[in-house]
Each structure stands twice: as C-alpha cells, then as structure tokens.
C-alpha cells in the first residue's frame, strides 16, 4: 500500500475554546497513530483570527514558529501538497460545515460526514425532526427564540439548539426556573430547545461505523446518572480546564462512564434505532447518537454527534476498542470507505 498523505484539519476560526478543543483531540490522535510506513501526516491549524498555519506538530512551540497565512495562500499551499485525504478535527459549526465544504470544492476527499449532513446535525431541532420522521422516538419539544415563552410544563430540559459538550444545558424543575435556564442557553445560540424530560432509566451513546458498505453497531457507552442529584450530564462530565487555561479530558475511569456488556438486551435495541438515525440523516463512514432509556426500556433520541477525531479517547475509538477493533484498524476502515466512496463518485 502506498504511503497516504493525510491532512489533519485542526483548530477553529470561531473562538479559543473550540480551537483548544480541536487541538486537544488532534494531538491525542497524532500521538497515538505513528505509522510512517502507511501515513505521511500534515497539519493545517486554523486560529480564531482566521489565519492558517502548517506546523510540524501541535506543540505550542511549533505552532508559535509557524507562519500565519491567509485562506487564499493556504489553498495554494494545500493544492501543491498532493493530499490524498483530509481528517477533519474541527468542532465549531464553521469547522464542521464551511471548512469541510472547502475540501469538497478542492475535490480532496475527507473522512467523516459531508458538510451538508454536518450542517443539519449541528442544529438539534432539525436532527430531531428528521429522525422522528424515520420512526424514531424523540422527546416532545419546542424551538424558542429570544422573547418566546415555553409552553412545556416542567420537568423539562433547556439547551442551545447548536452547541456541544452540554454547554448551556439546564434541567428545569419549576416554571420559575425557566428564566435563568433560557438566559444561560441563549448565551450559546440564537435558538433554544425546550423538551420534555424523559424519566431516567439509563443514558447511553451508540456508535455506528461503515465497513465494506455495511453498517456495524459498536458496543454502547453508558453514563453514570442519578435521578436524585444527577439526572442529566453536564459540561464537567466531558471536559475540564487546567490551571494554565488549557483543556483536558474528564477522567474516563469506568466510574463516570463504561462500556455496556454486548449481551445486555438494550444493546441490539439501541443499535437498530441508531442505524435508522444514520440512514435518515444520510451519514457516511461513521455516526454517533445519544439516547435516553426510560424505565420501561424505550430508547428516546437525544442528539447526534457526527464527528470522530480518531483519538484514543474519542467515544467511537473507545467503543471500537471494546469491540476488538484497534485504533489503527478503525482509521484504516474509515480511510478505505472514504477512498472507495470517492472513487464511485468520480465514476458517476
């Protein structure tokens, strides 16, 4: 197999938080996958000033000495590199949409879901509408803008329509709590979702990968929740900020989250629903969905997270490892699907 030139698309032109988040995952990926016989990794690093850099590594030192250039110059540089494919690792909305679309225009294939699919997935209300139309159960909800008054009686969950990592999410138990919850959510988006709270049974995540054109359900990841003092997940469950201002992963120690035994009856039930979501949204290569399981064992769709950085601590990577799929094999499977689908598109 020839050496593949893979461009890691990292950073954010949106803000420092998403820039640091992207660098955190990408750095974890680059440290874990060292295979010069198969890959020649390049890095494109975008900063909140919209400048592009092409550092040797994602260390602060290498980033600091790399020359910032404009988008136009970056395109000229990239097209001269003979890149085989791109691994997008940007988590802000422009990064998941506009920057992926750029590589569509450059006709350079990229791993993961298309810019169109990502544009839909970044808006929680649109995703819910699409999967509900495909027969998937979703919590009853409403989309609000500034000045709108919620009509759903508590308990209810209030969350920004377009943010990740549980930023701005609140559980409202009394009507009087709505004002504070809405104010918090509107700090992160212009639109807010209010949806009926699904009584806690369990909360799980399900990953789907595509292998040889077939959808493969991965082991579920379950999260530690408690109906009394921890009924929903929070930002602190996912990321933490260090004393020096950098982000780090919250501990994955089988206490806050764990892999569900594949023989658990809920696994196959959730996987089938996740496959419906994958197909309804037009996903490719992989997908990831959150579900609330009510006390009767009924899965309810919460949201989609259609990204994977192929870092060891990425959720899909953890699920694949539990299924006996090493990180290198997971990446190679995605690469093969990407190149195969690109060849078919060129023929058509």
Rounded distance between C-alpha atoms, residue 287 and residue 138, angstroms? 18
Per run of 10 residues, the mean pLDDT along the chain (length 348 residues) is 92 93 94 86 96 96 97 97 96 94 97 96 94 97 95 95 79 94 94 94 95 96 78 57 51 72 95 98 96 95 93 94 96 95 71
> Which CATH class name applies to 140-196?
alpha beta
Residue with tokens 């998941």: 96
As assigned by CATH, the class of the 4-112 domain is: alpha beta
In the chain, what are the domain boundaries? 4-112, 140-196, 202-306
Please determine, looking at this structure, whether the domain spanning 202-306 carries the CATH number 3.40.640.10.
no
Q: How far apart are CA 287 and CA 305, in angstroms?
A: 7
Spatial neighbors of 294 by CB under 8 A, at least 6 apart, are: 198, 199, 200, 201, 300
Predicted confidence at residue 251, as pLDDT, reads 47
Under a CB-based contact definition with an 8 Å cutoff, are residues 309 and 89 in contact? yes
Please give the pLDDT value at position 320. Answer: 97
Strand pairing category for 257-259 and 221-223: antiparallel
Q: What are the tens digits of pLDDT across the range 261-287?
A: 999 999 999 999 999 999 999 999 999
> For position 348, what pLDDT does the model report?
60
């Amino acid at each position: 197999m020839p050496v593949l030139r893979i461009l890691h698309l990292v950073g954010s032109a949106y803000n420092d938080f998403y820039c640091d988040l992207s660098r955190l995952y990408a750095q974890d990926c680059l440290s874990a996958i060292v295979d010069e016989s198969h890959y020649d990794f390049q890095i494109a690093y975008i900063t909140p000033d919209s400048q592009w850099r092409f550092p040797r590594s994602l260390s602060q030192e290498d980033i600091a000495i790399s020359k910032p250039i404009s988008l136009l110059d970056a395109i000229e540089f990239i097209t001269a590199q003979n890149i085989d494919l791109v691994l997008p690792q940007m988590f802000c909305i422009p990064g998941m949409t506009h920057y992926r679309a750029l590589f569509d225009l450059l006709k350079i294939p990229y791993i993961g879901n298309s810019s169109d699919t990502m544009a839909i997935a970044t808006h929680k209300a649109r995703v819910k509408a699409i999967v509900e139309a495909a027969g998937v159960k979703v919590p009853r909800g409403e989309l609000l803008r500034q000045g709108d008054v919620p009509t759903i009686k508590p308990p209810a969950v209030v969350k920004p329509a377009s943010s990740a990592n549980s930023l701005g999410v609140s559980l409202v138990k009394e009507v009087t709590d709505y004002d504070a919850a809405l104010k918090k959510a509107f700090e992160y988006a212009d639109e807010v979702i209010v949806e009926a709270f699904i009584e806690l049974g369990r909360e799980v995540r399900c990953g789907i990968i595509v292998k040889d054109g077939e959808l493969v359900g991965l082991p579920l990841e379950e999260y530690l929740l408690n109906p009394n003092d921890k009924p929903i997940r929070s930002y602190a469950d996912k990321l933490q900020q260090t004393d020096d201002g950098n982000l780090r992963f919250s501990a994955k120690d089988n206490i806050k989250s764990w892999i569900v035994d594949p023989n658990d009856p809920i696994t196959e039930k959730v996987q089938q629903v996740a496959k419906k979501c994958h197909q309804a949204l037009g996903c490719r290569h992989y997908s990831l969905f959150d579900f609330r399981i009510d006390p009767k064992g009924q899965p309810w769709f919460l949201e989609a997270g259609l990204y994977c950085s192929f870092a060891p601590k990425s959720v899909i990577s953890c699920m694949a490892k539990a299924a006996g799929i090493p990180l290198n094999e997971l990446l190679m499977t995605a690469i093969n699907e990407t190149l195969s689908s690109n060849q078919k598109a060129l023929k058509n």
